[in-house]
Structure 1
């Protein structure tokens, strides 16, 4: 799936720039639809591998194009809230799978998952307009005006915003870039460093491992919670906290929430490390059975309030219209690559340093994330795209 997502990142980055954000999302949603159809009829492991690869391509499109699209269609005051909708609905999807997955066969589950994709294609294809930035970029001003009117429902009041979009797009189109010029652009360079480092730290903090090995961690800790209940509890918490993050991001700011998220992740990760060090040393930890459960819950809350959803918000805010597709491709590819690396390295690392050492490594990544955000990441809440680019250029 990670390999498919990497391919999806590369393909959709170019496609969204050339053919539009909406067209790209609709086209690549078909790979997800095909994936579930293959799962429905699958009779061999090879077919399941193919299905995983195809759904990975679709996920690559989601993580590459949706931050661009939301960043371009949302108003400044609601950009943070809407940008968090992608991770929020991913959390809802995980909750759905965790809740019903154990009770149905793969074939029945695949038939369920086909329905939301078809609904997306119908609703998004009929009712949701293309990005006005894309229309302006290809000299379709009338279509851009219609798109804005549909998005804002304000009639002539959208003319000023359309003029602003034309000014931004014109300024970036006049600056035709080569790779060398991109690297020499301070705003692009800073934006790429910020988003890529946050994506790396987002994975190095261990979320993918904690979610994938949740049952193993609970069993190793001696918890009496069943794997079904533990994953369900985590999924419910994720939905609630990501929803809270979407509400707070336009009030408290992206920078503050990511720093808070990273800082609050350190104590529960250290607590987990301490617990497993004691357990591996032969100490009696029966009276501390609650510690790993509480620590994991606090970590899930801390991660999802900022470091989980908000780097995707920043990805849609920190780049000019003619570099967004490239930046989104690079950043999403880094995220997928590091996720794949962490997943592959974890079993070997577990043999060498154990759970205690691994959780201490995760805590170190959280500390680095907090320091990086405090020292290097600017606040983007309530700022126009041009204002953000000017800040990055300084």
Structure 2
């Protein structure tokens, strides 16, 4: 048995020349022993305290059913663009533009409300019940929309269903990444958490396929809007048997149950109990240090985060990333670009415009899925901030900048469908806009798509994780709503070129924000990440790449 040398202070290692011989603690002062229930436990450097790196069947099951919520999230945000285009065919009257805008935007507003409610729900009820509530809301909302009558007030039923689904989206957007992060070992946390975003992308792609497939069916919009009742109901039933987050259980004093959950997630009967005890002790230590803050109500917790520099920095980074994700204009690609693409004055196929939207929907989902495959390698092997000779998020934002600039300069107006078009826009560079659109989507997928959610699931201390994720998710949906309700007006007053140029400027500001403030969280436990914000906002590249984790190494 070897002794361990514990060093007080921050996580920066520049002041310790012999860093391979020390153990850094970001959470404050400690010594080599821990006291709990009158029993002195000494942390030793042996096999029992090694990190767990195995992906177990239980963890895979939790991951699969958790990301169903992300799938429904992505599906419901995209499917409405196709459903609205054929609703008028079945209704006795044509829906006004205001009614259509309300049906689209009410989900975004409700998602912002759901994100706000998600904080207290995760804190009081737990992660698992919150996901179950979201699944229930998805099911009820889908059934309401599918059963909406064809009458003058039928659109109100769809509006109510969209509002209910929006609440579920808000709960899912902040809970699923946090739940997956708290159930995963540090070696798999990034890979597993980012799968939630991949599921959102998959949902958007499937929405395009479903919209296209049911566009030929009588009242096909009912199938489009109601089909998600099936996976959401399956998810609701599955979570009855899935475990709660071990960190939430420890925070509620259910340490033995947390130990059983950890053992099951890490390998069941075959897992090394010493490793489980070590991980559980690490969680307990973190919660004990946050005991004073945990006794505060929600408003006092927010005030505490604002008063402490490192917590405020974490909140600024988390909310900033979520704002950048939306203000960089991704939803103009997802929804509004369809209308821009069909806005040529000479377009003679407005009544059948849906058939020219499917390539956009399919391309959006497929290309973002391709980008996600790149993202798994970049963010898990090279981290979320730095990769050799470049920066993932920074490079993605630069590509998004140039892609949007190209799209704004050469907006596509040539429309193709089965039939004869006698006139089209004389712009011969429409193909360049399509290339820029694909470049934007592929660039967004590995960077600003999943990483804001992954980072927000990691950067807050345990006592502030629910509140931090709630505030950042609310920022995301508020920014989403802002983009959705202003885009068409921007194209009207600034022209299409000016609107996309504005998004270029916002993406550039986002690039600068990420470069200056985002630290690297790769390879660190959730308990270690808190200390990353106690150092300077933008340490030199050499210091960013140095190890600042709880590595127990032999002292000289």
Normalising by structure 1, what TM-score? 0.93
Residue in 2 that maps onto 1:16: 122
149-158 or 58-67, which deviates more: 149-158
Residue in 1 that maps onto 2:339: 216
1:182 to 301, 305, 327: 305
How far 1:218 sits from its partner (Å)?
3.0
How far 1:275 sits from its partner (Å)?
2.3
| 1:93 and 2:197 matched | no
How far 1:216 sits from its partner (Å)?
2.6
How far 1:111 sits from its partner (Å)?
4.5
Aligned positions of 1:124-143 closer than 5 A: 124-126=239-241, 128-143=242-257
| 1:244 and 2:374 matched | yes
| 1:292 and 2:422 matched | no
Larger radius of gyration: 2
Any conservation in 2 of the 1:91–1:235 contact (CA below 8 Å)? yes
How far 1:96 sits from its partner (Å)?
1.0
Any conservation in 1 of the 2:384–2:520 contact (CA below 8 Å)? yes
Residue in 2 that maps onto 1:62: 172
Q: Any unmatched runs of 5+ in structure 2?
A: 1-106, 215-219, 350-354, 386-390, 415-424, 536-556
Output the aligned Cα RMSD.
2.2
How far 1:352 sits from its partner (Å)?
1.1
2:238 to 117, 123, 139: 123
Aligned positions of 1:125-164 closer than 5 A: 125-126=240-241, 128-153=242-267, 154-156=271-273, 157-164=275-282
Residue in 1 that maps onto 2:394: 259
Any conservation in 2 of the 1:129–1:150 contact (CA below 8 Å)? no
Any conservation in 1 of the 2:114–2:166 contact (CA below 8 Å)? yes
Residue in 1 that maps onto 2:496: 355
Counterparts of 2:336 and 2:489, CA distance in 1:
14
How far 1:174 sits from its partner (Å)?
3.5
Q: Alignment length, in residue pairs?
A: 388
Any conservation in 2 of the 1:183–1:189 contact (CA below 8 Å)? yes
* Deviation readout 1:143-169 (Å, 9 max, x if unpaired): 101110111112413111111111111
2:406 to 268, 271, 291: 271
How far 1:276 sits from its partner (Å)?
4.8
* Deviation readout 1:168-200 (Å, 9 max, x if unpaired): 111112444534332111221011101111111
1:168 to 282, 286, 290: 286
Residue in 1 that maps onto 2:482: 341
How far 1:220 sits from its partner (Å)?
5.0
Q: Any unmatched runs of 5+ in structure 1?
A: none
How far 1:21 sits from its partner (Å)?
0.4
How far 1:274 sits from its partner (Å)?
2.5
* Deviation readout 1:188-229 (Å, 9 max, x if unpaired): 101110111111111111111121023233335899992212
Please give the secondary structure, in 2, of the residue aligned with 1:254: coil
1:49 to 147, 159, 172: 159
Counterparts of 1:91 and 1:191, CA distance in 2:
27
How far 1:247 sits from its partner (Å)?
3.5
Counterparts of 1:191 and 1:295, CA distance in 2:
33
